[in-house]
């Protein structure tokens, strides 16, 4: 009777395990997934094991499924934050080009308008100086004297015109220099992202190495489960759990680095002038 109860109990455990393994899961999203054949064999393995072994196996599989869930959740968070950061980085870089763009455009328009308003005067003065030079060349002192007198009358106005144009250009250059300084400061901040991206690549490399090692162990695990070999299945799963934990930790680091990029982008945004 006891033997029948034990067998019946193990059958129930096997059914429960099979039910757990058959619950909806995002197959392919996790680095390591169990095929339907392996899941079926696993249920039989748990039923085949003694009570202590069965309890341990069930606990290990629960941990395995928990790590799968953690990884999938982390992947979703990393992907969402990464795309958000990339979009924000593009927006920030484009925004640099528009820093005080309206003011600079206004100052450029003022320079152009000022130059155009003084052009007739400056052109007239330039023509007079050319005529004075020509008169000197042909030796006409009278003509040169008359032209020089006209030029002398224009000199004060010409000096004021040139001073006004110079002031407008200086104002424009000062504003451009200020904008360049702000832009350089923001770009220096954004440059910090490059260092973080190196850290992200290192984390991804670590996760990839863990995934490769897991894939190798999975073959041993599948073979042991199908035999069924309780001891090898359990010991292999222990190694898989250790590697899977490291893989999830690498992805947690990846997410933390994406958060660091978000912080850098926020820092850069604060460096933009309010107007």
Here the tokens at position 21 are 């393994």
The mean pLDDT of the chain is: 89
**Residues found in the chain:** 275
Q: Does the pLDDT at position 9 exceed 60? A: no
Nearest in space to 92 (alpha carbons), one of 256, 255, 270: 270
3 state DSSP class of 84: helix
Residue in the block written with tokens 């820093």: 99
Please check the confidence at residue 167 and state whether its pLDDT lies above 50.
Answer: yes
Q: 238 falls in which pLDDT band (50, 70, 90)?
A: very high
Q: Which of 1-10, 90-99, 152-161, 196-205 has the lowest mean pLDDT?
A: 1-10
pLDDT (mean) for 22-36: 63
d(CA 150, CA 145): 9
The pLDDT value given to residue 275: 66
Q: Which residue has the tokens 């019946």?
A: 8
pLDDT higher than 60, residue 219 = yes
Helices and strands in the chain: count of H runs, count of E runs? 6, 0
The model's pTM is 0.78
Q: How confident is the model over 124-164, as pLDDT tens digits?
A: 999 999 999 888 888 778 888 999 999 999 999 999 999 99
Cis bond upstream, residue 194 (ω within 30) = no
């Amino acid at each position: 009777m006891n033997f029948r109860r034990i067998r019946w109990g193990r059958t129930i455990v096997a059914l429960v395990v099979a039910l757990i393994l058959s619950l909806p899961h995002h197959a392919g999203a996790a680095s390591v997934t169990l095929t339907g054949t392996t899941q079926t064999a696993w249920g039989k393995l748990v039923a085949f094991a003694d009570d202590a072994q069965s309890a341990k196996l069930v606990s290990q599989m629960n941990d395995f499924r928990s790590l799968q869930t953690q990884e999938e959740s982390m992947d979703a968070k990393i992907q969402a934050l990464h795309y958000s950061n990339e979009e924000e980085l593009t927006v920030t870089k484009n925004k640099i080009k528009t820093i005080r763009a309206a003011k600079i455009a206004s100052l450029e328009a003022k320079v152009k308008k000022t130059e155009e308003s003084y052009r007739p005067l400056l052109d007239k003065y330039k023509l007079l100086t050319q005529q004075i030079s020509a008169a000197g060349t042909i030796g006409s002192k009278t003509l040169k004297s008359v032209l020089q007198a006209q030029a002398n009358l224009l000199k004060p106005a010409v000096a004021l015109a040139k001073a006004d144009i110079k002031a407008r250009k200086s104002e424009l250059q000062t504003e451009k220099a200020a904008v360049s300084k702000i832009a350089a400061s923001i770009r220096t901040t954004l440059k910090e992202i490059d260092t973080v991206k190196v850290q992200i690549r290192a984390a991804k490399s670590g996760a990839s190495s863990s995934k490769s090692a897991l894939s190798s162990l999975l073959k041993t695990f599948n073979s042991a489960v199908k035999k069924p070999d309780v001891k090898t299945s359990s010991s292999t799963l222990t190694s898989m759990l250790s590697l899977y934990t490291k893989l999830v930790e690498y992805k947690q680091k990846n997410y933390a680095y994406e958060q660091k990029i978000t912080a850098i982008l926020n820092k850069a945004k604060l460096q933009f002038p309010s107007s």
